[in-house]
Amino acid sequence: MSKRYVLGICLSNRVESASEFQKILTECGCYIKTRLGLHEVSENLCAPGGLILLEVYGGDAAVAEMESRLKAVKGLQVQKMEFEM
């Protein structure tokens, strides 16, 4: 039986945490199968926060390392979903 993982990351202040967040994603890029970014934007607004969903490929250790590194970044909330397939 295999597992599939989705990490949900809420950025409270993209300006403050974006560089460290992007650095981690770049270093862990081989484990990211799908990346979806959501934030509010309109003619008069570009929200400072956002939500990123990552479908993560790799074993338990790789996913745990990425999750741990992301949780260490100030201004990020990280939640993990794990599915048995």
Q: What's the pTM value of the predicted model, to 2 decimals?
A: 0.87
Question: What per-residue confidence (pLDDT) applies to 14?
Answer: 78
Q: What is the pLDDT of residues 23-76, one digit of tens each?
A: 999 999 999 999 999 887 777 877 888 899 999 988 899 999 999 999 999 999
Indicate if the pLDDT at residue 17 is higher than 80. Answer: yes
Closest CA to 52 of 7, 2, 5, 1: 7
Closest CA to 14 of 41, 45, 51: 51
Say if CB 85 and CB 4 are below 8 A apart.
yes
Give CATH for domain 3-84.
Answer: 3.30.70.1150
Question: What per-residue confidence (pLDDT) applies to 45?
Answer: 77
